[in-house]
Amino acid sequence: MFKIFSSLRKEYLLLINDKVGLALMFLMPLLLVFIITIIQDSAYKMVNENQIPLLVVNHDAGKEGEKLVALLSKSGLFKIDSQNAVPQKSLKSELLSRGKLIALYIPETFSAGLESNARDVSNILMDDLGLDRDTAAREKVSMPTLSFYNDPVLQENYSYSVMGIIQSYMSVIENSLMIDRMYTTMDLGGGSEKLKEKMISNRVRIDQIVASNNNSTAIPNSTQHNVPAWTIFAMFFMVVSLGSNIVKERVNGSFLRLKTMPTTFMLVMFSKMAVYVIVAVVQVVVTFSMGIWILPELGLPKLTIPSNLIAFAAVVLISSMAAVSYALMIGAYARTEQQANGFGAISIIIFGAIGGILVPTFVMPSFMQFASNFSPLHWCLEGFYVLFLKGGSWEELKNVFAFLGIFILICQLGTYFKLRMERII
């Protein structure tokens, strides 16, 4: 027991003497969570809370164009910049010069075309019902075309979303015109408002439901991404401290000296793993505490602790073991401390980038999404996502444990064989 205690104490003393390593493991994640969460949160707000700037050029001779602009404005989704004096041919250059991303052009015949179409529909209905139709001769105007301009930098799906919104308001206007026309033809006076209201209020609603196994309605926010993401990043950054410790012990002969002593190398490795797993757990406690208590004070979303605490502990533990095992392997293969620090740090940044720590994987191209499967950081993050967003379902965590289990095994075997080759074990 005294031997185990001494071995753990030695690892602890080495750790607390490594000021740079401690700063990387504890200060770095706190700073990263703080800075990146603020940046990403304002980006989220820009998309979710700010209005979309929309340049509108309304050349419609009638009233329907104005109605459409009024509906778009009333929706609260758009910040409308009306520039009716701008001719259509110069709208492209106007869009770019005004720094707007989207513009809507309403043609002169917009109202006339819609009214003409409403009349046609009404006449068909009257004919089918055997009722008198509007027989006054009027000029037939074809259905109008709205022009939607967008900056090429705008993502296609974003443009389609905006066009979908405009289309939805167009349906309201067209239906309204048709009802008015039919009521007029049938001499029903102004009683169409009730029908219009009924038609609008009875449209099929779409309820948005977050897919979660415990009926949780938690939606991922910048805190829920950044706190676990940068904690995992910092956990793996222990490669700088633990990796270089192992290189030092290999190179200076401490490991070989231990081989001449009546002790087992397993004790050395166990002590290292135990101390650094505790370090990783402390990292989680410190960074998550920041997410729970400090970030809300700064107006950022509060971190909600997962409801499945056993699964939470298991994910923290397996993520810690993955980080420790990777650091052991780097320490076993690096020839110098510089190699361990340089390669270790760069490999973690690359693993972080492809694993969705820096940028979420769903915005990556498909081949990069496939590549993310080979990053241990991706699977650790995936584990935390399952905890936060899917109620910590054991079923969903199966893949996380399987991949990280294989990763740990590979790292441990790699370490064992290298130390065996060097006759340390």
Partner 1 sequence: MTGAACIEIRNVFKKYKSAQENSLSDVSLTIDTADIFGLLGPNGAGKTTLISILCGIIPPSSGIVNFYHNRDIVSEQERKSRIGFVPQEYAFYQELTPRQNLDYFGAMYNLGKSDLEQRREHLLEILGLSKYADKKVGTFSGGMKRRVNLAIGIIHEPDILFLDEPTVGVDVQSRNAIIRYLRQINENGTTIIYTSHHMSEAEEFCKHIALIDHGRVIANGALDDLKAKHEASSLQSLFINLTGEDYRD
Q: Which residues here bind partner 1, judged by CB under 8 A?
A: 2-3, 5-7, 9-10, 13-14, 17-18, 252-254, 256-263, 423
DSSP-derived 3-state class of residue 180: helix
Interatomic CA distance for residues 26 and 279, integer angstroms: 9
CA 53 → CA 82, 100, 105, 132, 385, distances in Å?
11, 6, 14, 47, 33
Q: Which is nearer to partner 1, 245 or 415 (CB)?
A: 245
Q: How far is the CB of 252 from partner 1 (least distance, A)?
A: 6
Which tokens is 144 given?
């109008």
Interatomic CA distance for residues 268 and 8, integer angstroms: 8
Q: How far is the CB of 308 from partner 1 (least distance, A)?
A: 40
Q: How far is the CB of 327 from partner 1 (least distance, A)?
A: 17
Q: How far is the CB of 412 from partner 1 (least distance, A)?
A: 22
CA 4 → CA 16, 250, 298, distances in Å?
18, 20, 44
Residue 414: CB partners within 8 Å, gap ≥ 6?
329, 332, 333
Q: Which is nearer to partner 1, 47 or 261 (CB)?
A: 261
Q: Which is nearer to partner 1, 8 or 166 (CB)?
A: 8
- CA 420 remoteness from chain centre: 44
Q: Which is nearer to partner 1, 109 or 244 (CB)?
A: 244
Q: How far is the CB of 2 from partner 1 (least distance, A)?
A: 6
- The radius of gyration of the chain from alpha carbons, rounded to an integer in Å, stands at 32
Q: Which is nearer to partner 1, 273 or 295 (CB)?
A: 273
Q: How far is the CB of 253 from partner 1 (least distance, A)?
A: 3
Alpha helices in 390-424 (DSSP H): 394-421
Q: Which is nearer to partner 1, 20 or 285 (CB)?
A: 20
Give the end-to-end CA distance of the chain in Å, rounded to a whole number: 22
Q: How far is the CB of 339 from partner 1 (least distance, A)?
A: 19
DSSP of 197-245, one letter per residue? HHHHHTSPP-------TT-------HHHHHHHHHHHHHHHTTIIIIIHH
Q: Which is nearer to partner 1, 123 or 254 (CB)?
A: 254
Q: What are the φ/ψ torsions at residue 331 (nearest 5 degrees)?
A: -60, -35
Residues facing 55 on adjacent strands: 81, 103
Q: Which is nearer to partner 1, 12 or 401 (CB)?
A: 12
Interatomic CA distance for residues 368 and 356, integer angstroms: 10
CB 18 within 8 A of CB 248: no
CB 75 within 8 A of CB 172: no
Q: How far is the CB of 323 from partner 1 (least distance, A)?
A: 22
CB 352 within 8 A of CB 358: yes
Q: Which is nearer to partner 1, 4 or 219 (CB)?
A: 4
Q: How far is the CB of 33 from partner 1 (least distance, A)?
A: 29
Give the CA-trace dihedral at 291, 293, 299, 305, to 10 degrees.
50
CA 278 → CA 285, 326, 344, 409, distances in Å?
10, 16, 20, 20
Q: Which is nearer to partner 1, 75 or 263 (CB)?
A: 263
